[in-house]
Amino acid sequence: MKIAVVGATGLVGSMMLKVLEERNFPLSELIPVASEKSVGKEISFKGKSYRIHSMMDAIAAKPTIALFSAGGSTSLEWAPKFAEVGTFVIDNSSAWRMMADKKLVVPEINADAITKDDLIIANPNCSTIQMVLVLNPLHLKYKIKRVVISTYQSVTGTGVKAVQQMENERAGISGEMAYKYRIDKNVIPQIDVFVDNGYTKEEMKMVNETKKIMRDDSMAITATCVRIPTTGGHSESINIEFENDFDLKEVRSMLASTSGVVLKDDIAQFIYPMPLDADGKDDVFVGRIRRDESQPNTLNLWVVADNLRKGAATNAVQIAEYLVTNKLL
């Protein structure tokens, strides 16, 4: 069981290594891969040092699984080359997500779609993953008509450069800018580039990926994605209109019993999810559950998750675990 981690020195790649170690993934050999300037340097895993490899060296080793977190253009170029030698690629970029012949997987929802022929599997967008874990059981019970989302997303979703920008601003230091504007003491209502309809790519990812993962194109979905000066996780305000009415007690019970979801919803005790709760955890937290009193059959709730873990690294490792457990390798 050889495991390659492509982009091993980045925020998500480093987290993939951490999650593999925490979950005691059954690997016999680790092959960390990074850019040419990092080749030959070493990273630590389970108390041992591992030399960083080039792409070509990693492909020559024919890993069983390659966890990719190196950007879309890198994935488009190199993932097929890994697949050609029989490696299962689990890719964290947006490159393959909406391709009709590629599976887009959140294991708790649609891992059953994976077959032995799916050598390139897409890991969804971080903000989509945490949302669909909450939406899916509600959709199966009440049938979703429309979803309106506003996100409050951590700078860690952009990467190391953005975290450094925020820290520099807090320290009064001039430095490289990940964003067009200051992020500390500010919010930026733009994540990724704008597209022709006036939405950003991030907003359209939430629309299109949700429908694909939940296998239902009939849902009407709209999103506004905002970057905020926090680390530790993404937060989402979600308004859901159903075809059928619901009981709030039943909604809470269903979500509390959903795998990967933790209910934090007791306003009498000021208990609701926050990024501080999610930081370093694999669960998706949900609270502020209440009926939308402005129209029938509509629910408001608040969802928080660590975007580097369940939103990226943990979900990818869970896909790898599914491949192993179900003998698809």
Tens of pLDDT, residues 97-133: 999 999 999 999 999 999 999 999 999 999 999 999 9
Task: Say whether pLDDT at 235 is over 90.
Answer: yes
pLDDT value at 240 more than 90: yes
Q: Domain of 68?
A: 2-123+312-325
Residues 109 and 155 in one domain: no
Q: Which of 53, 126, 139, 225 is catalytic?
A: 126
Instruction: Say yes or no: 116 and 146 in one domain.
Output: no
The whole-number pLDDT of residue 36 equals 84
Residue 230 has pLDDT above 90, yes or no: yes
Q: How confident is the model at residue 35 (pLDDT cuts 50, 70, 90)?
A: confident
Is the pTM here over 0.85, yes or no? yes
Q: Are 43 and 52 in contact (CB under 8 A)?
A: yes
Specify the DSSP class assigned to residue 101: T
Residue 154 predicted with pLDDT over 90: yes
Amino acid, single-letter form, for residue 33: V
The total number of structural domains that make up the chain: 2
Mean pLDDT of 171-189: 97
**Does one domain contain both 159 and 277?**
yes
Q: CATH no. for residue 295?
A: 3.30.360.10
Question: Is residue 53 among the annotated active site residues?
Answer: no
Q: Are both 181 and 320 inside the same structural domain?
A: no
Domain co-membership, 232 together with 91: no
Cα separation, 58 vs 131, whole angstroms: 34
Residue 38 pLDDT more than 90?
Answer: no
What pLDDT sits at residue 130?
98
| pLDDT, position 40 | 87
Among residues 53, 139, 225, 234, the one annotated as catalytic is: 234
Residues 88, 229 within the same domain: no
- 165 plus 30 within the same structural domain: no
Residues 162 and 36 in one domain: no
Predicted pLDDT of residue 222: 98
Same domain, 152 and 238: yes
126 is catalytic: yes
pLDDT at 200 over 90: yes
Q: CA distances (Å), 123 to each of 61, 139, 231, 243, in order?
A: 23, 21, 21, 29
Examine the domain organization and report whether 150 and 102 are in the same domain.
Answer: no
